[in-house]
Amino acid sequence: MIKSSHISMRGLATMPWIQLFASPACNLKCDYCSQQSVRRHKVTHDFLQDPELLEFICRIPPTHIYLSGGEPLIHPGTKEFISLAGRRGHKISIDTNLMISGKKIEELISSWDPDWIGIVNVSHHLICGITLEDIESRIRPLKEADIKHFVKYIGVPEHFPLIERYMNVLKDRGTGAAVTVMQGNWKGRTIPEEYSLDETITLLDLVTLNTHGLQLFDGIHSRGMSCRGGQDFIAYNMHDDRKIISCCHGSSYPLNMNDIYFETGTRNCLECRIDQCMADMVFICGINGITDEIERFDKLCNGNFKFQGVESVIHFAEEIIDKGYRLVNNSKFLAVRKHVSNSCHSVTASGFKISYDEEISHIHSPKEINHTAEDRVRDGKTEEAKSLLHNLIRKYPENSTALNNLGVVYLQEGDMDNAIKYFEEALEFDPDNGYALVNFAAAMASCGNFDTAAALCKKYQQTNTTNDEAAGLLSIIEEIQILHAKGKNIA
């Protein structure tokens, strides 16, 4: 296999950019789609074969073309368009769900020089019943061709546990993963504004780029800031309207081609005319000059990532505020910061709860040891955490809190036998331990024992009517049961 001499993400970021929307046509129908008002299932215009577009691509200087949609890979001419653009010195990145046939994916990739490709952003739409097996079988040719890629999830509250599980699996297998906020209406709520505080904290613990955490605060007030958008960074044909706009949030301000870099050759930044900026690539790649996460993103696209966590996102936002910018939803930011500073943050990087014994407070008490064990887990020192917890239960064998916490550590490591053993023991000594019930349910669901998992969730709900964690997990379990009943494979 010939290895490509990939350009770095910083190299891509400094190139002129065109986010090129093939059209809103898509082969999936996701309820949270941001383009529902214009989305359709069939391609009505062969935009990627348009002679004017092809002539434009042939005469502009080397550019990073971010090919999006809809679903760009269902369009006629995609293979030829990428080949033409690559031979002209452009770098092409692709935003795709990859839900076309494996044979077609292999055909497309085999026709490209891997050095033409920047990154491939693969959206895993759980809401459509797409399994991890489906995704991994389709990214395998990308790995074999040494093409940078990562898998992206949408932050549906009911899917948080499954997203966390899949991201950890991908991490173990050397594939980058990220999660972004939902945007729009979801089951009667306006998201991200109406994520609950618990949902916000959980999602912040899942983000692998701080920029995606910033989106939970609706981005920043951007009018008047200096930005490359509208000069050497543009979005083209977003709504199949052949309009040029400064970025994907700039639909109200169409541009004249004669005034932008690709005609004038001028790369001066302009004052933003948009009130609110939460565009992830604009922040990640430093397009607006405020911040960048280019190096972290580069590692993620090469399969090396870690969960940033709520504290990291808070620090990231504070640095932006210190530069004189204002968060759009500053009240939510302040609420999150206050919650984290005033309480012991108890959601681990796996999304499962580690609980504490509230009755013992003397030095070296079970409570203190549990706190210390959680710190070790958060720092990635799981062996130290296990040692602490094993020592604790040798001294206090009926401590349900410690047994549950030890089960969580094993669950994170994928050791289901030990995880189940300790959750069962925790419930033996404290049948109403809510954390153990939910964690045991998650373990059962991971093993495919959905009936038991559902029963555990329902038991939890009988005595915890105000907590929606079990309800979210139960919703996922019931969805999986329905898919099994229809004969679909679940990863």
User: For the segment 162-209, what is each residue's pLDDT rounded down to a tens digit?
Assistant: 999 999 999 999 999 999 998 888 888 888 889 999 999 999 999 999
Encode pLDDT of 148-161 as tens digits: 999 999 999 999 99
Does position 254 have pLDDT exceeding 60, yes or no? yes
Q: φ, ψ for residue 21 (rounded to 5)?
A: -90, 115
Domains of the chain: which residue ranges?
Answer: 9-315, 366-485
Identify whether 70 is preceded by a cis peptide bond (ω within 30 of 0). Answer: yes
Pairing of strands 220-221, 276-277: antiparallel
Inter-residue contact 178 to 299 (CB < 8 Å): no
Report the chain's mean pLDDT, rounded to a whole number. Answer: 85
- At 379, the pLDDT band (50, 70, 90 cuts) reads confident
Give percent of the chain above pLDDT 70.
86
pLDDT at 362: 36
The pLDDT assigned to 482 comes to 54
Token couple for 98? 């990859």
**Distance in angstroms (rounded) separating the CA atoms of residues 276 and 214:** 12
The predicted pLDDT at position 474 comes to 56
pLDDT digits (tens, 9 = 90+) for 265-315: 999 899 999 999 988 999 999 999 899 999 999 999 999 999 999 999 999
Which top CATH class is 366-485?
mainly alpha
Q: Is the pLDDT of residue 135 over 90?
A: yes
> Best-predicted range by mean pLDDT among 215-224, 390-399, 429-438?
215-224
More confident position, 58 or 43: 58
Q: How far is CA 17 from CA 250, 267, 482, in A?
A: 15, 11, 43
216-220, 248-252, 384-388 — which one is most confidently predicted on average? 216-220
Give the CA-trace dihedral at 63, 10, 150, 69, to 10 degrees. -30
- Determine whether 309 is exposed, middle or buried from the number of CB atoms within 10 Å of its CB (0-12, 13-18, 19+): buried
Residue with tokens 């030890």: 406
pLDDT at 433: 83
pLDDT at 20: 96
The pLDDT of residue 347 is 38
Is the model's pTM score more than 0.85? no
Identify whether the C-beta of residue 97 lies closer than 8 Å to the C-beta of residue 71: yes
Residue 340 above 50 pLDDT? yes
**CA end-to-end span of the chain:** 29
Residue 176 · residue 149 · CB < 8 Å: yes
Q: What is the CATH number of domain 9-315?
A: 3.20.20
Q: Would the pLDDT of 355 be above 50?
A: no
411 falls in which pLDDT band (50, 70, 90)? confident
Pairing of strands 176-180, 184-186: unpaired
CA separation for the pair 137, 135 (Å, rounded): 6
Higher pLDDT, 27 or 467: 27
pLDDT band at residue 475 using 50, 70 and 90 as cut-offs: low
pLDDT number for residue 255: 93
Looking at residue 378, its pLDDT comes to 79
Cα four-point dihedral sign 57, 60, 64, 68? negative
- For residue 12, what pLDDT is reported? 93
Chain position carrying tokens 């093939």 = 22
User: What is the strand order of the sheet 91-96 is part of?
Assistant: 176-180, 149-154, 117-123, 91-96, 64-68, 17-21, 233-236, 244-245
- Give yes or no for residue 34 having a pLDDT over 90: no
Q: What one-letter code names the amino acid at 301?
A: C
Looking at mean pLDDT, say which of 330-334, 392-396, 483-487 comes out highest: 330-334
Do the first three CATH levels of 9-315 and 366-485 match, i.e. the same topology?
no
What does the alpha-carbon distance between residue 478 and residue 92 come to, in Å, rounded to a whole number?
40
Comparing CA positions, the residue from 164, 74, 172, 79 lying closest to residue 124 is 164
For 137, half-sphere exposure in the C-beta direction (CA atoms, 13 angstrom radius) is: 12
Q: Are 235 and 247 in contact (CB under 8 A)?
A: yes
pLDDT of residue 37: 62
The answer on pLDDT for 491 being more than 60 is: no
Q: What average pLDDT does the segment 416-431 reach?
A: 89
| pLDDT of amino acid 437 | 84
pLDDT tens, 381-393? 888 888 888 888 8
Work out the number of other CB atoms within 10 angstroms of the CB of residue 111: 12
Band (pLDDT 50/70/90 cuts) for residue 338 is confident
Looking at the predicted structure, is the pLDDT value of residue 29 above 60? yes
Dist. CA 269–CA 293, nearest whole Å: 20
